[in-house]
Chains A and B, each alone.
Chain A
Amino acid sequence: MSFNCYKDIIEEGDTVILYINPQAMYAIQALSIIENRKGEKVENIMQTKYGALKISSLFGKRFGSKVNLSNGWAYVLYPTPELWTQTLPHRTQIIYTPDIGLIMFMLELKPGSIVVESGTGSGSLTHAMAFRVKPSGHIYTYDFHEQRAEQAQKEFKSHGLSDIVTSQCRDVCQNGFSDEVVGKADAVFLDLPHPHLVVPFAIKALKSTGGGRICTFSPCIEQVMRTCQVLKDHGFIQLTTIECLEKEYQVLNRTVTTFTGIRQLPSTDSQSQNAAAEESAGPAEKKFVACVPSACPRGHTGYLTTATYLMENPLSRRSDTEGENKCEN
């Protein structure tokens, strides 16, 4: 409910992010009564590492408030796409925020954009794109996995995104996209095992005025190679393949031992020796602020291949030099 527009006060039915620390964040649906395993209606009480939280106590609180748990406290936050990505229930591998940011940028999304996406997966990217193109834009998203598509559809509805997202169960490698998107899309995004098979369908979906964008996300370089070849063959230009990893740093207070107590090599000068003896207070401690990279950051997510489609060109043309040049650079 709370997904389609920022709101201030928590109401029943909203999704709320319970923030304990960056490693412990949970998406909760704010319902006062839930069914227990026996099917009885019971008071909704959430158990956390730091004690229990009565969900109904959240109603009327502001997003951003601090709430007491029985053994500590937490914050209740608005479910921005970024926080949702961190807390959503995984039904598939998902795309994370650094890639999401780049995808939306490379696809040049803005309010009003019409986007075609496949597969929907867990809807991580779909949520972010919906937030970006609302209120006038639209995301058409397809997944051939029936349950997943259904689940996603339900989720979009309960998050108040039905006006912005259309979710369908469809095998886009075989059947392409639905007729309603033909010639309409500003951008096409593909995150499925064989994106190269979908490129001809993507061209059909892209608007005919030219300048439409395509982006594929593939974990393996072989997928990228096939995709690039097909894109080039179909006259796409400005082909680029990038990978982008976000590095996070922690800022900590640290102390080190310094060598200030130690003097230069003993000299014959008796005076300085005396001075050294006086000052030999031993090693001193020094405080400093350390900036430490994460111990084991993500090393790979996927390659992003992006390209522009200019005008309607006859299909299957020979590779054009410009595309090749761009690609090589």
Chain B
Amino acid sequence: MTATSVENMITPGHYLIINKNETYLIHQISNKAILKLGRDVIDLKMAIGQSYSSTYKLEPVTDKKRHYTLVVCNDNQARNQWATNGCGTDNKLITDDSSSQLLSTDEIIALKESGETGQNIVERLLKNSKTFQLKTEYAQEKYLKKKARKYCDYITIFKPTIRLITDVLYKQQTIPKTIALRFDTLAQILCRINLDPGGKYLLYENGSQGLLQAALLNQLHDNGSLVHIFSSTSEQNPLKAVKAMNFSESKIKQMLTVSLDEILNTKSEYDIPEEKVEEVVFNCSDDKKRKSDEAYTQLKKKHRPITSTDGLNFIQSNKFDGLIVVCREEPNEFVKILLPYLSLSRPFVVYSAYKEILVTMYAEFKMRRDLVFLRLTDNFLRHHQVLPNRTHPDVTMDDGSGYLFSGLFVTVICQTYEYSLTADSEENYICGFSKKQIQDTLLYAKKYPTKGIALNYACLKEQNIGNDRCLTEQYKLIECLRKECFLTNEQGNEITKGTNIPKDQILKNQEIKKRYQESIVKGNEELDNAVKYYEETMLEHLQSIDNLMKKRIYVDDINIALTNLKIELTAAIRRQMLNINIDQNLNLLY
């Protein structure tokens, strides 16, 4: 027997998806192979050794009430089908007086307990219904569907897949105790995180019964890895989905786990409390039983001694390809701690059942400069009934997709100028100036604290050089500052030189002074034009920045900042123009 066929065979210990009519459930088949389904007891022994995706007929056991065994039946045609034998065109003849069914409830129960097949029971019901033949085709179908649910004689056993598990869990979930993660939301998370099968992923999941762990493990190739951060606040059956997937030991080993407390503690203490780190040790127990719950129960045992490959070390010594957070808590602070563990240009996705939580997070995160492509979304999902002449959207909808907040992690830009000088940042240039240039400029600024320089310096500091916003404006300010510094420097030299000026020089200087005043008048005109021009360009900037950041930054804040800046800038221009005049005069001087 080939490996694949073994994997595709029902084996004791495996989890199965059992499908009867429209209900699906996760079931772990034991050696005894007994399944209790409502009031029925089904013996699954026949299915052991069969391959998945087979259908079985429920055969009543003669001496036991409501006990059944299985008979393989892969012939579609043999499934429950009931002849309808004509129908009415409308419902005007039908009155609902609960006497339309001639069989009494007791009689029906007796039928069921006698081991009569569902097929026959429904046929009897139809025969004894006064109104069935009068019903419209549509109503008949609805009636049969209802009966089929109750009297279906067949079950199909599927190999568990994430799709089926998601559906089963979604229908069972009890909000707000557990997270009801709808299939389309899960699909979106997996897509948004751009899952690379060979990548390393960081996951915090709390409240969704291990669905994310299972889904991510399922998407990983042998060389991929997953670190799951778990919360100490206990959740019922936190690994239900992982168990249901029948993962191999080696697959499970691709997942390391760390407790949330460890992460938070490490952050505040900046050292690793080694003994407390927990790792999942999915030891292959000696017995060759392929799958056992034992491996999973070890996860619950707290604080196991660590090994060399503990999860926390792994987190700290690696960069990750994606961060996924699905939890009931407010994840804001926690996500901020984990973001730096991402490689550049990698995504994060946060799920919450509540929009408000993610809105707060969005508002905060869009002020950050190391995140781009921020998106807050939810899903509109609609099922359709597709039947000849009766195709339409389902009459009920499900609005419970929850919300996703995602983005990409990019370069951290230095927050302040001082920081950028010391930090070993990749950006050697700030606003187009080398660090050296800026450093020199600022040194000058400190040395010659004239009013103009002080003003520009203050203005710049306020703007935080290197800040993403208003780069062009910053550029201008720095340039302005540089110039002023240069000039002051020159002037300073001039003054020292001026101590023993000969008379003709003084005369010359007077002339210069005159010309200087003239040029000031001329300059003032230029100045007015320049200010006007700058005002226009400012407006343009304003608009372009507005457009540029409409989605990402509080536009209002930018506007205020820019208005302030505009005032500052106008002043700066005035000073600069003045300097140009000085410049000209200095040229005259030499």
Top 7 closest pairs, chain A to chain B, by CB: A64-B344, A101-B191, A64-B345, A105-B187, A210-B53, A80-B194, A63-B345
Selected contact of B77 from candidates A224, A291, A320, A328, CB within 8 Å: A320
Q: Is B378 an interface residue (CB 8 A)?
A: yes
Q: Is A282 an interface residue (CB 8 A)?
A: no
Contact A66–B471 (Cβ < 8 Å): no
Bits for A97-129, please: 1 = Cβ < 8 Å to B, else 0. 110111011101011100000000000000010
Contact B21–A322 (Cβ < 8 Å): yes
Q: Which residue of A lies closest to B380 (CB)?
A: A245
Bits for A249-272, please: 1 = Cβ < 8 Å to B, else 0. 111111100000000000000000
Given A310-B53, A320-B77, A135-B159 contact (CB < 8 Å) = no
Shortest Cβ distance from residue B488 to the other chain A in the assembled complex, whole angstroms = 29
Contact A303–B187 (Cβ < 8 Å): no
Q: Is A134 an interface residue (CB 8 A)?
A: yes
Given A6-B321, A63-B344, A310-B55, A247-B380 contact (CB < 8 Å) = yes
Bits for B151-192, please: 1 = Cβ < 8 Å to A, else 0. 000101011011100000000000000000001101110111
Residues 30-76 (chain A) with a chain B CB within 8 angstroms: 50, 62-66, 68, 71-73, 75-76
Contact A104–B191 (Cβ < 8 Å): yes
Contact B411–A72 (Cβ < 8 Å): no
Contact A104–B190 (Cβ < 8 Å): yes
Selected contact of A326 from candidates B22, B344, B346, B554, CB within 8 Å: B22
Among B76, B145, B221, find the residue whose CB has the most chain A CB atoms closer than 10 A: B76
Interface stretch of the complex, out of A19-27, A140-148, A195-203: A19-27
Shortest Cβ distance from residue A194 to the other chain B in the assembled complex, whole angstroms = 17
In the assembly, what is the distance between CA of A222 and CA of B296, in Å?
Answer: 49
Shortest Cβ distance from residue A89 to the other chain B in the assembled complex, whole angstroms = 20
Given A209-B8, A253-B555, A82-B194 contact (CB < 8 Å) = yes
Contact B410–A132 (Cβ < 8 Å): no
Interface stretch of the complex, out of A151-159, A165-173, A177-185, A311-319: A311-319
Residues in B neighbouring A311, C-beta threshold 8 A:
53-54, 74
Contact B378–A247 (Cβ < 8 Å): yes
Interface stretch of the complex, out of B226-234, B442-450, B545-553: B545-553
Interface stretch of the complex, out of B385-393, B457-465, B520-528, B576-584: B385-393
Q: Is B381 an interface residue (CB 8 A)?
A: yes
In the assembly, what is the distance between CA of A250 and CA of B372, in Å?
Answer: 14
In the assembly, what is the distance between CA of A128 and CA of B188, in Å?
Answer: 13
Shortest Cβ distance from residue A238 to the other chain B in the assembled complex, whole angstroms = 9
Bits for A73-93, please: 1 = Cβ < 8 Å to B, else 0. 101111011100000000000
Residues in A neighbouring B382, C-beta threshold 8 A:
242-244
Question: Which residues of B line the A interface, CB within 8 A?
Answer: 5, 8, 21-22, 51-55, 74, 76-77, 79-81, 141, 144-145, 148, 154, 156, 158-159, 161-163, 183-184, 186-188, 190-192, 194-199, 218-221, 321, 343-347, 355, 359-360, 362-363, 366, 372-373, 375-388, 391, 394, 408-411, 413, 426-427, 429, 432, 468, 471-472, 544, 548-552, 554-557
Given A104-B190, A241-B384, A249-B376 contact (CB < 8 Å) = yes
Bits for A299-310, please: 1 = Cβ < 8 Å to B, else 0. 000010100101
Residues in B neighbouring A248, C-beta threshold 8 A:
375-377
Q: How many A-B residue pairs have CB under 8 A?
A: 251
Bits for A216-260, please: 1 = Cβ < 8 Å to B, else 0. 000001001100110000010101111111111111111100000
Describe B's contact surface by its main secondary structure: mixed
Residues in A neighbouring B380, C-beta threshold 8 A:
244-247
Residues in B neighbouring A104, C-beta threshold 8 A:
187, 190-191
Q: Which residue of A lies closest to B223 (CB)?
A: A135
Q: Is A325 an interface residue (CB 8 A)?
A: yes
Given A82-B192, A329-B22, A224-B554 contact (CB < 8 Å) = no
Residues in A neighbouring B375, C-beta threshold 8 A:
22, 248
Given A101-B190, A325-B21, A19-B373 contact (CB < 8 Å) = yes
Residues in B neighbouring A22, C-beta threshold 8 A:
373, 375, 551
Q: Which residue of A lies closest to B429 (CB)?
A: A68
Given A105-B190, A246-B188, A62-B426 contact (CB < 8 Å) = yes
Shortest Cβ distance from residue A65 to the other chain B in the assembled complex, whole angstroms = 5
Contact B377–A221 (Cβ < 8 Å): no
Selected contact of A289 from candidates B5, B360, B429, CB within 8 Å: B360
9 additional A-B residue pairs with CB within 8 Å, beyond A75-B372, A134-B197: A21-B550, A68-B429, A97-B191, A98-B188, A105-B190, A108-B161, A111-B197, A320-B77, A325-B145
